[in-house]
Structure 1
């Protein structure tokens, strides 16, 4: 009888002046799917784990035009400053992760208009509450039922610019980015890595170049997002394929640690 094992991992490390996050998805034997991400952030993020039940009444929290919904699925999430869902998994095995992308530019939200909006802090939670699979989320969100409304990172003058990754229990993946005010969706089971800049389409092109060079010979080693993308892409496919979940989890953690920015290393120019 076929079965799947789905694990969501979160590794948090605080590196001064760095916004260097990496997300990977491992697909192993017996339908094992493991999603992991690092949170290398320039300052301390107040974070907690929250468990949300089904049936919660939700609002987009942007005023009278806030989109409203009732959660279909329960979820467990990691919060940021206890106001945003940064990462989470719902009861169907759908995982959402938000990472920094400086190129993000969201459509203009008109509070006096007709189109509904949702705070960027609830973008990932909306997906976890409403969808069971990546395909279901893509089919719904490509119609842009709302405008994502961003704001400044708490306690800073840094405007929040994020992109969203989704993975599910079947191993499907999708990346959502707002570029020049337009939603761009990359949907394919092979999209198992996401980092930061440049935009995802360019990351794929850079990774194709490095595929021509054996990873055992040379891999880019800086903390730049493009380099981390290449390393993560190589190692997530190179680690052992094991039916032992402990071995698989340890292997995925080793990939995340390889791509994490060492403590105390800063980069003001590379997110």
Structure 2
């Protein structure tokens, strides 16, 4: 069993003019995660994984997500413009099962959010009730998915959810637009505050460490031109996320928290377009939600992304009927 994480990602929310909001993220990992686009419709019967009293629900909203290992939702946007991003957090400690609440594995955590909520405020108000228990999932390579979750909506509202010492901690507010990995979020905020006081305009930390990526992403996303032009806004967010990405093939001894960036996503929450960038095939691809069928009769659909066949451009018409995957458990 591999016990050390090899994931290091970055997420940033861009506030443009005229409510132009885009959430971008990088996915850093040591191997191909067999990631693909899935379209999940409204009205899907769902459960949170495993046979240990899984939580059950019916999806209220359709979504397009990026899968991992054909067993988890790592990233995605629903038809209301709510975005969910999973990022690794070594310090995550999930609650022990000590009561009869139903279980949700973290491989299904992001999907549960996308299926059930239209805004960050709605999600936070419901999730803080803690009506279910979140349990850690294990990837096929043996690594346990200790993660925290970022959510954002089309109005730029944001929340970071972490399990620290078995307790759910939520940071809710538009100011929480950046997320990386370790340390826990409250300490990341303190580090960023220090750099602001030092003067980030003249000196930025330049390593691939999570704390340094946090500072750079925070500075660049807010110092970049704020525009209402969706194409310019997309280009801006992409440039920031690329700036905090880890070069492909990067290796460093005794640095388990650093891995190469394997893909990036950008969610245009105003215009409902969802973009994917595979660093092994660096042509941007996307889907346009206005042309997708999220109805309950539309069924599950899939676009294979990591087949190295040179996919490019608009993939909206490329979805094919598919079976839903089962969420990873322990």
Aligned to 1:44: 32
The match for 2:105 among 115, 119, 122 is: 119
C-alpha separation in 2, matches of 1:187 and 1:129: 20
How far off is 1:18 after superposition? 4.5
Counterpart of 1:192 (choices 174, 177, 188) is 177
Instruction: Identify the residue that residue 166 of structure 1 maps to in structure 2.
Output: 151
1:150 Cα deviation after fit: 1.1
* 2:263 alignment counterpart: none
SS, match of residue 30 in structure 1: coil
Runs of 4+ deviating beyond 6 Å:
none
Deviation per CA, 1:112-159: give whole Å up to 9, x if none.
x51110111100000100000001000100011111111322122x22
CA contact (8 A) 1:60 1:67 kept: yes
Q: Which residue in the other structure is 2:307 paired with?
A: none
Q: Is the partner of 2:183 in helix, strand or coil?
A: coil
Measure the CA separation in 1 of the matches of 2:122 and 2:92: 24
Does 2:85 correspond to 1:100?
A: no
The one of the two structures with greater contact order (alpha-carbon pairs below 8 A, sep at least 6) is 2
Q: CA deviation at 1:64?
A: 4.8
What does residue 57 of structure 1 align with?
Answer: 45
CA distance in 2, matches of 1:161, 1:41: 14
**1:146 paired residue among 91, 115, 132:** 132
Summarize deviations over 1:224-249 as a string: whole Å, max 9, x none: 00000000000000111122111110
**Structure 1 pair 64–196 and aligned structure 2 pair: CA distance change class (3 A):** closer
- Matching of residue 266 in structure 1 with residue 251 in structure 2: yes
* 2:49–2:104 contact (8 Å) kept in structure 1: yes
Q: Report SS of the residue matched to 1:31.
A: coil
Q: Which ranges of structure 2 fall in alignment gaps of 5 or more residues? A: 259-330
Aligned to 1:88: 76
Q: What is the alpha-carbon distance in structure 1 between the residues aligned to residue 219 and residue 245 of structure 2? A: 15
C-alpha distance in structure 2 between counterparts of 1:172 and 1:148, whole Å: 23
Q: CA deviation at 1:78?
A: 0.4
Task: Name the CA distance, whole Å, in 2 between partners of 1:119 and 1:164.
Answer: 13
Secondary structure in structure 2 of the residue aligned to 1:29: coil
Corresponding residue number in structure 1 for 2:296: none
Aligned residue in 2 for 1:250: 235
Separation in 1 of the partners of 2:228 and 2:125?
Answer: 33
8 Å CA contact 2:152–2:159 kept in 1: the answer is yes
Pairwise CA RMSD? 1.3
What does the per-residue CA deviation read over 1:48-89, in whole Å, with 9 as the maximum and x for residues that have no partner? Answer: 000111000001122151110000000010000111000011
Residues 70-85 of structure 1 aligned to structure 2 (within 5 Å): 70-85=58-73
